[in-house]
Chains A and B, each alone.
Chain A
């Protein structure tokens, strides 16, 4: 069972690396959105610094959302999902591996890129640990929740907008806690509370959403 998990991770990574453009898209989007703000708001470092926690988080959230639309699309179209559903392997485990692979190459890459962009917005370097930690805890939740929406909309021809409408409301708690932690850190307040709540969401998402994703995929495949 765990070997299938590892094999699927390897397969998904291989697929992502053979389509490097798709890997780069969310990262480029993230970088450009953040780079637009200093241009639009003006180079007042105080104002940008105050805004930076929210800006980084909103940009990361939209970048993850952008990357999710196609998460299951090609597997749906080429019949891979049918093979997963009829196989003896637990579907929830397979989708967890799939989303984990996706997160490793989009979510984790966003996390690694974020310090550079946050410094561009004037976030003081002492806030970087909290920035990294909050994104590290928050982006898996974004990927997993988004995968639930992607699973439900995979059968639709233009599911992109519907996906955003379904999923964005669910992203609100993550956004509040994530940017809240960073805001608190910026003002020199303790951040443990925010981060622990964020970690709770991560634990809940990792344990519960695979079942919801699997159920959504079964519905989409059964149409």
Chain B
């Protein structure tokens, strides 16, 4: 059996003296999509932040290609695209400026590519409007436009469907499934039931584990 790309071993997370989950194992192979579900406060976001290396687990460890995350930070950074609940979009900057900067953190993108990505998420004509003037759904689309640029293989997305309209949700689902079919990996949290599931789809219910 081949080595998993990202793996969590006996992961335990405690916040403010409350145990969110313990001894959690998960493996992620190329082509996998992992949906994390569970009631509010069950530790979905914390799990994602542990996988990104933003937080340290109380016990257990996250491994990237078999090596502990602490030794693999650079490798993870090159392969990871993280969109948190707050997605790093500055209200004072235009969607184009926001995307240009977020891409430059990984690898700089051409202006042309950014405009195409914005058009792909339905923001044609909003390229140079300050982002704080956009609606919540449109702001979410700005963040999601990063998925349409040259994106690294592992996507970790916290509630990507928030504030999107029906058509936006369907489009994003198709895009995520396509990414997995092409050998990418997606870890996401959402309460919404996915219609379009790739073959590598799995679900992890944090609520049931705690029960």
Contacts and interface: CB of A to CB of B under 8 A. Distances in A.
Contact of B53 (A11, A15, A18, A86): A86
A79 interface: yes
B142 to A, nearest CB: 12
Contact of B106 (A7, A77, A85, A87): A87
A11 B100 CA distance: 10
Contacts of B74: 88
Interface in A1-47: 3-4, 7-8, 11, 14-15, 18-19
B88 A14 contact: no
Contact of A88 (B78, B91, B97, B102): B78
Given A80-B88, A82-B88, A7 B53 contact: no
Contacts of B78: 88
Interface of B: 49, 52-56, 74, 76-78, 80, 82, 84-93, 97, 100-102, 104-106, 108, 130
Interface residues of A, number: 24
23 contacts: A7-B101, A8-B101, A11-B93, A11-B97, A15-B92, A18-B130, A19-B92, A78-B90, A79-B85, A79-B86, A79-B88, A80-B88, A80-B90, A82-B54, A82-B88, A83-B88, A83-B102, A84-B105, A86-B52, A86-B77, A87-B106, A88-B78, A222-B56
Interface of A: 3-4, 7-8, 11, 14-15, 18-19, 74, 77-80, 82-89, 221-222
B86 A87 contact: no
Contacts of A3: 104, 108
Contacts, number: 70
* Residue among A3, A74, A83, A89 with most chain B CB within 10 A: A83
A71 to B, nearest CB: 15
Contact of B90 (A8, A15, A88): A15
Contacts of B100: 7
Contact of B55 (A14, A87, A222): A222
* Residue among B89, B93, B101, B102 with most chain A CB within 10 A: B101
A83 B52 CA distance: 10
Contact of B87 (A14, A79, A221): A79
A12 to B, nearest CB: 10
Contact of A18 (B82, B92, B101): B92
Contact of B101 (A11, A78, A85): A11
* Residue among A77, A86, A89 with most chain B CB within 10 A: A86
Contact of A78 (B82, B88, B104): B88
A87 B103 CA distance: 10
A49 to B, nearest CB: 43
A88 B88 contact: no
A217 to B, nearest CB: 11
Given A18-B93, A19-B92, A79-B89, 10 more contacts: A3-B104, A11-B93, A11-B101, A14-B92, A78-B86, A80-B90, A86-B77, A86-B82, A88-B106, A221-B54
A88 B152 CA distance: 12
* Residue among B54, B76, B87, B93 with most chain A CB within 10 A: B54
A204 to B, nearest CB: 27
Contacts of B49: 222
